[in-house]
A and B are shown apart, each in its own frame.
Chain A
Amino acid sequence: MSTLTLTRTVAAAPERAWQAWTDPAELAAWWWPQWPDTTYDLDVRVGGRYRIHSAGAAFGISGEYTRVDRPHLLAMTWVWHNAETSPDAAPDEVEIEFTAEGAQTVVTVRHTSAEELQGSGTEQGWNAVLDRFARR
């Protein structure tokens, strides 16, 4: 498994940033505005499901919320659905953390791939290399 971590500081308090992630009407404003036909169905509670899907682009994401700790942490499983995705594909895991910093919020995304890497002990190496490569 590999985890990708990214952070961004946004000009809003955590509660506000949380709302932008969990209110379907607001999510629609910034998630995939390039696909205006995208639908956003969010049942934001532990065990609740979400589905973000664009018929026009013929793909989307769905999953289940595993942690809902407003406004600090939102965690969910994550499965792409498109023509290429196997229905048995193991879900990725995504964690969004909101940390106050003055009047702003540091948003940290941790996206963990479901893919297994053979050969133990090399995960740290993979993560270091993959992060650097992917940045290019």
Chain B
Amino acid sequence: MVKYPWEPPPALRDSASERLDAQAHAIASAPRRAVLERLADGPASMTDLSDLLAVTLPAVDKHLRVLMDAGLVTKSKPGRTTSVALRPGGLTELVEWSARTRLLWTGLLDRLSDHLEADGAAPPPTAPVTRSPATDTPTTDAAATDPQEHR
């Protein structure tokens, strides 16, 4: 099996600013964004991409050149078929920020949701400052286990 890894030349992009420009140019195109989104699900063949974009193979290749130039995708030929894949770490810190931040909030919102659902069914793990409707007395004991009326 002959492998033809067509790595983009990131060494030529030794300026962060130039890298950013190349990446910005690469994704300032709806078809190229569609390619990147598809590759996020795993490698694709040239035919997969031409079907996706409903364009000819040469047209796919034009887009891929821009993406490779930006260091975002790689082409290889593990067998008889060319395979196109995302280049790991090709996108900038902004992607990592986005992934980290999304993970953070997904976790937080999961816990918020569980917390509020549990509150309706059972006493909350810590009791907020509140007034008991029956006695109109403030209760602030964090260890309180008296059922709170769901508000």
Contacts and interface: CB of A to CB of B under 8 A. Distances in A.
Contacts of B28: 119, 121-122, 125
A133 B112 contact: no
Contacts, number: 133
B127 A134 contact: no
A26 B127 CA distance: 7
A12 B25 CA distance: 45
B24 A6 contact: no
A13 B120 CA distance: 11
Per DSSP, are chain B's interface residues mostly helix, strand or loop, or mixed?
Answer: helix
A105 to B, nearest CB: 8
A25 B113 contact: no
A20 B98 contact: no
B55 interface: no
A2 B29 CA distance: 18
A13 B150 CA distance: 10
Contacts of B126: 25-26, 28-29
Given A23-B129, A25-B142, A29-B124, A113 B101 contact: yes
Interface residues of A, number: 44
A15 B119 CA distance: 14
Contacts of A111: 101, 105
B113 A11 contact: yes
Given A25-B129, A28-B126, A125-B28, A117 B94 contact: yes
B33 interface: yes
What 10 A-B pairs come out closest when comparing CB atoms? A30-B115, A119-B24, A8-B109, A130-B98, A12-B116, A134-B99, A134-B98, A30-B111, A134-B102, A122-B24
Interface of A: 2, 4, 6, 8-13, 15-17, 19-21, 23, 25-26, 28-31, 33, 107, 109, 111, 113, 115, 117-119, 121-122, 125-126, 128-136
